[in-house]
Structure 1
Amino acid sequence: MKAARIDDELMRNTEDAMTTNETSGRQSRRLKGVRSQPLTLRLLSHWQACAALFIVCAGLLGTGSYYMLVYQRTKLTCNNVFWPFASASLRLYCAQQQAEKNTLEDLFAAIGLVDVLGKNHPLRAAINPQIEEWSDRALDLAEKAFHEGKLKRAISFANRIPDRTAAHKVVQSRIKRWKEIWAEGEGIYKKAEDTLQQENWRQAFSIMVGLLKVDNRYWSQTQYEAMNKRILQAQKDEKVLAKAKDLIRSGGLDNLSEALGLARDLGPESVFHKSAKGTIERIAQRLMQVAETALQRRDLTTALDASQLIPRETKLGQRSKDFVDLAYASASSWSGTASGLQDAITEVRKIEASSPLYNQAQSLALKWEGQLASLRQQQELAQARVNDSYPNSVADSIPDSILSWEEPIVRDNRVSRQASADQSLLDRADSLSLNGDRKSLGEAIQLAQRIVPGRPFYEDAQARVADWEFQLQQLDNPRFEEFPETLAPEPDNSGKELWQEAQGYASQNSPGGLSAAVEVANRIGPNSPFRAQAEQSMASWSERILTIAQTQANSDLPKAIAIAQQIPALSPVYDVAQKQIRQWQNRS
């Protein structure tokens, strides 16, 4: 049985081997059959994979083509193309890209790229409408440049519009209109500018209002606003100058110093700069007067302060510089001693021959040299005195300059008697001055002037004299104009001429003429026989200006404001006009 099992197993193995050999033979024969088929038939057997591969390749090719067409043309071709060999389609494409920037330069660059192609070129049907559109846009941009104040740029580019376009037909009429409008605005602005430079900002404002009607934004807005700012600044500067003049009229070192600072603030950019310079010159004159008056009353501090305030750029600049040396020399001489006089002579001799004070310095030097010589003689006389045998009358004849050589008791008695006499003179002068009339003030001045230099109350007397002289000056001219040179009343014939000039302006019966009439009439002197009539007329003319403004307000409020602003500040209705202007401005 064991042998039977072995035989069965051998048979099964043999059968399995045969089956395996048959299967291998069939597979081998199948492979040989496939290899023997053509390549096309073999690929068709895998058509799904081939279709997918074809789709991927087509997509990549399309994407690459689009990239090369769009990206490379805009980024590379238009910026680096050599135009003599460029195709017409490339020119048109790049011209369209250029025109998209929408500036005058780019639009004409776009036109230039395609307009070189012949009239019969196949792409002309596409190019011509583009040129028409770009020309219209260029004309619009030129109009915009005109309104921005760039007239030359607008005209230059408008003239470059191609002849065959519809836009070109209106170019010359457009340029003519631009020039006419520009000339109108320029003329109004220049007239306002010239008037403003004459410091008549009210009239300048009236002229400037005309810019609002100019059909150009540069003149009606930009330049109008610029001129308006200048006029507003001129108003402020006028007030500053008026305040400076008020301070000058008030007098005093502090007021003059403040006035000088205000006038200096009106620099070259101010329309009142020229008037400010004239005011500074007059302040310098007043400061010099203060300095000289202070020096006369031996007030060295005030004299130096006033002279050192005088600007060096004024006509009195060099004089003020030398005045300081003269003041120190004078102060040295006040001691009345030999050393003081010698120092004064040495100091004053330093003033050069080119100085305006040279002659005065030489005169003082000669005077002090004479006093020094006389002093030395009197000193010798005092030294020869042996005792107090001189009577009082003789002792009184010895000047203060040699008191240092007198014996103490003689000097004390003499000073005491002089002080008593001086006090008595000043008391009498003070009493007379209280009357306040010309005669009393004149007599008071004469009494005080009897107190000579070197006496105990000399400085007090000089201070009183200066005060009383100022009171007399006020009595002689109650209206006391700005500066010393204008104190004298204006001659009657000058008043007549001014009155006739004012009437001439008033006869124009216009706001500007009436305003000018008021200002001219106000220059008539207070002592002129025409002054009273002028004041009445000034009030009447001012009221007429206000009436014209009120009438105009019914139809043209800005013009009414401009008219009312022409009423001078000196007019009696000025405050009423200003109130009316504010009301109108709130309404507009």
Structure 2
Amino acid sequence: MTERDIPESWSSARATEPDEITRLSRSLPIGDRVSGVPANGSTSKSVKRRKKRNSDKEQGTASTSYGKIPNWMKSWVLWTVLLALIPGSIGFISMAMLLKLPSAPNCPSIFWPLASASVRLHCAQLAASKQTVNDLLQAIALVKQLPENHPLRAEINRNLEEWSRSILQLADQSFQSGKLDEAIATARKIPQNLSADKLVDEQITKWQSIWSKGENIYQKAEEELRQAHSQSAFMVASKLLRVDNKYWQTAKYDQLNRLIVSAREDGEKLAKANGLAEDSGVDNLLKAIKIAESIGQDSYVYQKAQATIPVFGRKILALAQKKLDRRDADEALEIVGKIPASTGLKLEIEDFTAIADAQRNAWIGSVSGLETAIAQAQQIDPSRPVYDKAQKLIARWQLEIEDVANLEKARTLASQGTVSDLNAAIAQARLIPANNPRGSEARQEMGRWRAEAETIEDKPYLERAEQISFIEDVNSLQAAIAEASQIRNGRALYPEARRKIRTWTAKIQRIQDQPYLDQARQIASTGDLASAIKAAEQIASSGRALSGEAQASIDDWRGQVRARENWRKAREVALAGTPEALSEAIQLADRVPSRSLLRNDVNPAIDQWSQQLLDIARSLSESDIVQGIEIAKLVPQGSAAYSAAREQIRNWRELLKPEPEPEPQQFPEESTTTPEQQ
């Protein structure tokens, strides 16, 4: 019997029910099931007797019906043929039934309670050959109930072991494809009383351990991604390749890699957004919000991105608040209007807008503006966080309304411009308490009006002083100083009066001290620098107008004294005529300042001494070139002999270079021959 003999719908439950047709076929005698064919064990005599009885009955019936036998029944040929044909047919059929091989059992139609062990085993093997879980379980169910002492028990146990392992293999295939629960459920279908039952728990434990390992690795990689550690996540994900499960090695590993790549890209986006937000510019913050909004919900940094959006929005609010603190309400409101709704700051924006709009009206400075601001602030709901601030502003603005009225009246008085009107305006502004909202503004206005009044009162003193000082002699300047000194300290024109007094005082001092400084300069022109310095020191130490000029002259004269001393020493040293003395003399002479008149004598002397050094070097070079080079180096740069000295040094150094040795000449070897060789 082949596999196609077992229909797919055959089940073990159906296999245990007796087939109705089979029961009926077994309940009938064999002879009744084959019409016209004698049962086993019949003979030809019984057949003849039965035929004779039948013929007698027919004759009786015929004689009764017709009264005579038909002629054809009296033919001996007919009876001869019948007697030869009927027994032959019966024999042929009997032999065919005996020689026919028994057909394979039809497993779905077998009544299993009466089926033999070999039939059960055969049908079980056919079912198991399909290698499906249900068919393998049906195969096990067919044979597992057979007695332990059955002769086929060894074969049955071997098949049970094989089929159980096949079920475990099918379950492992489910496990490898990522269906852990299905694999466990399949494995647990193996009957517990089989020898392979102990393998089930071991295999399930192994599967669960492998699966748990894969899940732990996956979760750890996800945690690294949430911390924005993409490199660490890659390293953790690579451990999935060592998990003993194809599903974790392939599908889950690829899935995790895609998540890591996506998370890294999103992390870079978030880092860029944070970098833009660090600049704290409105445009950069808006760009940062857009970047954070572009990160999808399936990203591991989505929560972080969403958390940063309100932070960026509050930074924009802070920038708007700075503008508002500088009383730039229009700019502040414009900034707030750019904050996107995704920041979730709708209520905060509304509160800020209400306060800013009210303050803008209050800053107009008029009573109507303050009243409008109060009305706007009163509309803020008590449940809002800025309600207390609004109430404080309302109280402040209510005080300001009275202060503004006083200030407007004071400004009206001050606009007349007379001293009395300015004083009246100051008195009106004093009605505003210093701790009131407009107190500081009132004090500023009072200071300005007071300065205007003092300027009007003191300006005539300055004008008269300037007129008196026009002659610019000592008496007129002193009179101008006396006139300007009438302006007291703390008055508006006092700083200007002091500047003019200092100017006039300096002019007086210059007029008084100039003759003494001129006298000192006259003494210096005669060459008596020491006396000139002594005369000018009195002016330099006085701290008067010409003290700086006198000190400059003293410094110049002292420089001339030092230059003379250096020039004198240089000439004395040069008299020795040695290279060392000449070099020292040149150095001393070179200390004379270039602006000094002595420089006309110093420069020719330096040229002369330099030439002497060069001559000495040339003389010594005849016996010692190295010594000549050292002396020639003493010739100073800028002197007339410097170029010649450098050229001479180069020539001497060329002479000191060793001449290259001539290469030895190579002569061809002469061949000598002896008389014997010839």
TM-score tier, shorter chain, comes to 0.3 to 0.5
TM normalised by structure 1 equals: 0.48
TM normalised by structure 2 equals: 0.42
Pair member with larger Rg: 2
Higher relative contact order (CA 8 A, sep 6+): 1
